[in-house]
Structure 1
């Protein structure tokens, strides 16, 4: 890759190294320079531009990031992960569900040692994650990486499998609380509620709770009667020896103590056991009555998610196990900073227009290949990384509704569709799921929009980085559709009127808008007249862009 000042007459297609404001236009770094960009630079008096020129031995940053991410998770769904579309040389991997993340550190180290341009960062091994939480990111540091280095980095993973999410496997537990003479009932109740919250956060919905005297015989009887897949013991008095009440009761019913005590503080006075029928049992330390993270949380997470754990595993928890000295240690499901997460994106297809320029034909029912145009664009949204797809139709529009039969969409009728596109935007916004972080507005008359267009917008969306509105552009950088708006703009969108769509919001918030180049010219092709349809068909329409 050549990097440095390049004469303008040699710079077409080169990648701009630094953002520039030229003639009222902002040229963003990382974008390939077009003829229009070069004309603007010449008009502003520039003769050279600092840019990167890729050679045949280079792989562009986005292609390289996607290649490495695919090697990290060759079958992401089976690994419990999802992979974002690449953007500016970055591809993120997210948890599909909650669970415990396993990271093969040796493989990640091997990959990162191959070439300085190819990097992968992950959460630590055995991290408990929430659904949609980011677990790893691939970053290509320059604008391109040597193809040989990318392939060598992928080969260092040894066939993939370096990341795997273990979701919860246990759905029920039995909690046995022991009482000492004079013990307050409030303390027993506090312990039961704290354990219930911990288990609920791990997806364990069934919990039977029993209270018995702090003696071996009644505790053993309660263990025999326990029906949960996991048995938990929270003693009224701390377990201080392998021969104490809790461990003795486990052995009395034919169980075995696998580990007594752990090198984690708080959490030292824990014991791990196995009942005679193979079910795991855990003697909980008294610190579980408080919400703060403790050693029992680490063991519970692995047990619930069926991650093997034994005496040796607990012995290795000492490094990093001094939890009481971490002032900001997290509390299970109890506030704190939000982990980096994949945004919740709702796609809204605006399909309530009358299409008066079609001479009586319904443009949304025109055939594109084997299906109506409306079905094609909606299927593109469904095949993308959007979390839900909403279609706004005119009331009692049975023909368009029929075109969507069998698709997993929500149809919203707009009774005031005649007022213009803004009314359909408002109708779509009212139907969004409550936790939506962003809405992508898609026009229904754009035959070349595919999943890749939507995925590019979702990958680029990052309000913290100022990318709160993301607009699809064609491969030449000319803006088009769809457009993705972050939650902060929902109120502005809901106040729109008339038939200009969201142009007013785009104009008023230009500093937040990022135009993302997408495949081909589909972002700007909409078909409103019979003549436009005829011309497009004559050009042999390309297949739907892939994801």
Structure 2
């Protein structure tokens, strides 16, 4: 690549897109990379402020921005996503299916630390829908050393930076607890909320039982659902430290392994997650899920429906970003709730 005066560029090959910006009308390339500059192009180039331009000269040690962008795309792209057309050294990744976005954060940091290239992504561990943008990549200079792009490949060996875990249809059991509901003293208002949240991901409740606060009864119902082949059991209510709230004990007595009872998230501090036989989630939901717009359940549910096994340390890390501000107009997931550092 070499710099030359625009008036002297006739016959030269343009090595980058030339963008024309007319506010409110257009922002697009008036000439594309590879265009052979003609005499009639000179006034147009001057009109967009290009008194000097870069034209191509062979250099085996360098890559053009668009060629380098293709390298970035390949190290980013997992299954169920595609790239946009390369333009001015930029490629965007677009989801091909609904699911949970996973990011190899170490690789993402490693590439962005190399300099002269960048990858900007939406938050990982959150839902994406088919057609939505996942990430944008760009090469900063017009040309970049081939050696630097080889280093980008090396630091991302072993798999792509981005992947999408698609949702898996699950048979879900719902256990509503509380003697006041069991004895019909009050109406069950918890179950409709859970069914509505499941419907957001195309899921339905396959079995539903209402139990009193008798922990032995709750345990028996959970076990019956698991024996009937439920892939996940959700228990609502009875999660506080009150003497009558026995759901945590009931879940423990099923033999399920408790991952966490309590999480640094508000609303949702009394949340419980366990796994039965190492793979089927048993969830205990605190009462806030019934009345708060968004809670820890919204952070965890999509990951469980995608078949992901969540570790205890991932709950500990939710403290930063774990406070929902209960905004008058909820914009979740386009807000800071559940989006901590790493």
TM normalised by structure 1 equals 0.52
Aligned twin of 1:67 = 71
Q: Is the 8 A contact 2:213 2:244 kept in 1?
A: no
Aligned twin of 1:229 = 231
Helix, strand or coil at the partner of 2:319: coil
Partners of 2:103 and 2:303 lie apart in 1 by 14
Report the Cα offset of residue 70 of structure 1. Answer: 1.0
Aligned twin of 2:340 = none
Helix, strand or coil at the partner of 1:324: coil
Structure 1 residues not aligned, in runs of 5+: 338-547
Partners of 2:236 and 2:98 lie apart in 1 by 25
TM normalised by structure 2 equals 0.80
Tell me, yes or no, if structure 1 residue 124 matches structure 2 residue 119.
no
Helix, strand or coil at the partner of 2:40: helix
Aligned twin of 1:533 = none
Partners of 1:204 and 1:326 lie apart in 2 by 27
Decide whether aligned partners of structure 1 residues 191 and 49 sit closer, same or farther in structure 2, where only a CA change above 3 A counts.
Answer: same
Q: Deviations over 1:247-283 (max 9, x none)?
A: 1212333334331110011111111123358522000
Q: Is the 8 A contact 1:16 1:30 kept in 2?
A: yes
Tell me, yes or no, if structure 1 residue 96 matches structure 2 residue 96.
yes
1:133-172 to structure 2, matched below 5 A, reads 133-172=132-171
1:6-25 to structure 2, matched below 5 A, reads 6-9=6-9, 12-14=12-14, 15=16, 17=18, 19=20
Query: Which structure features the higher share of helix residues?
Result: 1
Aligned twin of 2:32 = 31
Aligned twin of 2:175 = 176
Tell me, yes or no, if structure 1 residue 84 matches structure 2 residue 88.
no
Partners of 2:153 and 2:32 lie apart in 1 by 26
How many residue pairs were aligned?
Answer: 323
Helix, strand or coil at the partner of 1:142: coil
Report the Cα offset of residue 220 of structure 1. Answer: 1.8
Partners of 1:27 and 1:195 lie apart in 2 by 47
Aligned twin of 1:489 = none
Decide whether aligned partners of structure 1 residues 19 and 187 sit closer, same or farther in structure 2, where only a CA change above 3 A counts.
Answer: farther
1:161-310 to structure 2, matched below 5 A, reads 161-181=160-180, 188-226=187-225, 227=228, 228-235=230-237, 237-240=238-241, 244-275=245-276, 279-290=280-291, 292-310=293-311
Q: Is the 8 A contact 2:172 2:232 kept in 1?
A: yes
Partners of 1:157 and 1:85 lie apart in 2 by 23
Report the Cα offset of residue 5 of structure 1. Answer: 4.0
Structure 2 residues not aligned, in runs of 5+: 336-342
Partners of 2:124 and 2:46 lie apart in 1 by 54
Helix, strand or coil at the partner of 1:149: helix
Partners of 1:18 and 1:58 lie apart in 2 by 23
Decide whether aligned partners of structure 1 residues 193 and 182 sit closer, same or farther in structure 2, where only a CA change above 3 A counts.
Answer: closer
Aligned with residue 50 of structure 1, among 49, 52, 63 = 52
Decide whether aligned partners of structure 1 residues 156 and 223 sit closer, same or farther in structure 2, where only a CA change above 3 A counts.
Answer: same
Partners of 1:85 and 1:70 lie apart in 2 by 13
Helix, strand or coil at the partner of 1:68: helix
Partners of 1:132 and 1:45 lie apart in 2 by 38
Q: Is the 8 A contact 1:92 1:134 kept in 2?
A: yes
Partners of 1:87 and 1:50 lie apart in 2 by 21
* Larger radius of gyration between Structure 1 and Structure 2: 1
Report the Cα offset of residue 184 of structure 1. Answer: 10
Partners of 1:330 and 1:247 lie apart in 2 by 32
Decide whether aligned partners of structure 1 residues 207 and 149 sit closer, same or farther in structure 2, where only a CA change above 3 A counts.
Answer: same
